[in-house]
Amino acid sequence: MQTTLMGVSYTPPKLKLLALRETPVQRSLTDPTACTNLELLSAVVGGPKQIEIAEAIAAHFKGDLHLLFQASVVELVSISGVGEATAARIKSALALSRRLSTTSIDRTSITSPADAAALCGDMSTFDVEHLRVVMLNSKNNVLGFADVYKGSVNSSQIRLGEVFRPALQRNAPCVIIAHNHPSGSSDPSPDDVAVTRALVQAGKMLDIQVLDHLIIGHGNFCSLKEKGLGFS
């Protein structure tokens, strides 16, 4: 929609064309869970051209929030309309979101692989492989977790003692192992199965039960226990 202002063609910001109740800020105040990613991003960006800038950001990263999370400030400010202050707000909002997913886990009960995968959902944003140990008590309540490896997770590099050290320190009788695939696929590799088998056997020797090994992808996960891979 174009208008003419003092003889000059002018396209008003998209925000001006919306009723107040339909603006990204008002919609996020009313029910943020019902907002689209673009609306939430617009509310974070702020300003009169927040929608156009949010659209430019979404187009740059092809709508992939994982790519946006991993982006550097330099890459963000290279997008038209994004300054350092806007980049800081975006990075802060995404960091808070990830931090929220890994806090307040005490007394969380794990009753299924999906419960454990939800607890490890932040791992889908990591750009390199991490291996996480989730520690549980005998009632499957979460005692805490620790990221013990960063980098390639394979049987030749993992030291079993390092994996189980956090559980031994917390006197945790059970653990769930999780690692992410930065590629986004949760399909297990032969090395993943070999690592699982070694962890299960080591756990038996230490009297710590390995309940599952999860592979976290982008919006998906794989339970090796459910697939019977590495567990006997």
CA pair distance 55, 72, nearest whole angstrom: 18
CA pair distance 54, 57, nearest whole angstrom: 5
Strand-pairing partners, residue 198, are none
Strand-pairing partners, residue 178, are 132, 214
Q: How many residues does the chain have?
A: 232
Structure confidence by residue, pLDDT tens digits, 97-141: 777 665 555 557 899 999 999 889 889 888 889 999 999 999 999
Domain borders along the chain are: 3-101, 113-227
Structure confidence by residue, pLDDT tens digits, 7-53: 566 678 999 999 999 999 999 999 888 899 999 999 999 999 999 99
What's the topology of domain 113-227? Cytidine Deaminase; domain 2 (3.40.140)
